[in-house]
Chain A
Amino acid sequence: MAVVFEKPKSLTDAPFHYCPGCPHGIIHRLVAEVMDELGIEGKAIGVAPVGCAVMAYDYFSCDMIEAPHGRAPAVATGIKRCRPDNVVFTYQGDGDLASIGMAETVHSAARNENITVIFVNNAIYGMTGGQMAPTSLPGQVTQTSPYGRDVNHCGWPIRVSEMLATLEGPEYVARVAVNNVKNVKNAKKAIKKAFENQIAGKGFSLVEVVSACPTNWGMTPKAALEWVESDMLPYYPIGVYKDRSAGEDK
């Protein structure tokens, strides 16, 4: 019988611990498919964050390390500078990358560190049970913004891709989403490019994946995906924000 669908080799057999309807599973799979297609599973070294994806080290079948909260780009820098022939990636959420780890994010981008960063933005702290994230939208209700995010009190959500694109350093910064089939397919293309850039030695490539958190948003999975479209994407528009080599490889 012809096999029409199977688990990517770059994923282990460990079952995901993610909540029902959580797009982390999709994003893991996209990263794994890209690793399979590029044939880099044996060369890849992944850096797991602190946050929902903390146990990503159990799910990817390449070598893995678990970083302190926010420090994944620094850990990845240490690895990549020692092992430039390996393919090093981080997988981080919004609290990890854009709050506690913002300095590491900005500086690894400024150095054009030759790593790939997968940044999952779901506008909330998931692992700790739904607190306000640096990317929570104005007015968004969370456990620590129970009356809605008041921008006069706690500031505005950060558009990481736009901000990083202002730097000379990074090679590639793009924002994608995984709320429908078309967006998922485009997300994979961006992720693949982010890995290809590293293999070609081009430098820091970050893909911001706008995702959803049905559990902590208090929505059904379907409603959550609709909220991505109606509320998240207007504030966080999909697009390529920086692509230094655009047009070169044609």
Chain B
Amino acid sequence: MKTTQILIAGFGGQGILFSGKFLAYKGLTEELQVSWLPSYGPEMRGGTANCNVILSDTPVGSPIITTPDVLIAMNLPSLEKYVNSVVSGGQIYVDSSLISAKVERDDVEVFYIPATQMAKDEGISSLANMIIVGHLLENNPELSFDGVAEVVEKLVPPKKAALKELNMKALSLGKDYKK
């Protein structure tokens, strides 16, 4: 039995919910049990947003994550809020263009990715989230980068077909990022 609990947190507008949705669909295409739970309400309109994604090979119990295996922090308040909730041996992905602080734990694996800056440089400034997702899929032992194209195909509506390529580009940037 293996369950991966992923908590993604940041500002509204950073694509927090979308990246969660992407991971949930990724699990779906791998025949896993999944749950995706967003924060909702006025905070969605510009405040903080977060999203709980659980991928498991057995039925998901509570969809609410209290001790994530993986944290994606897209802003400082989110990192500060959740850094100590990550399980020992877990992973933390930090957008280091927005967060200069370092994680002061030695029992977790930390990945610093200047995702927002990378996205800006590549002219895909709204897709920093997908750069981090690409890096996560490449570096998490429970997940896999294979098959992302199928998920992009599923998630990006036909009306916004141009975004497919850009999402793929962001995912690849993340995959190939080396510190």
A and B touch in the complex (CB under 8 A): no
Interface residues of B (CB under 8 A from A): none
Interface residues of A (CB under 8 A from B): none
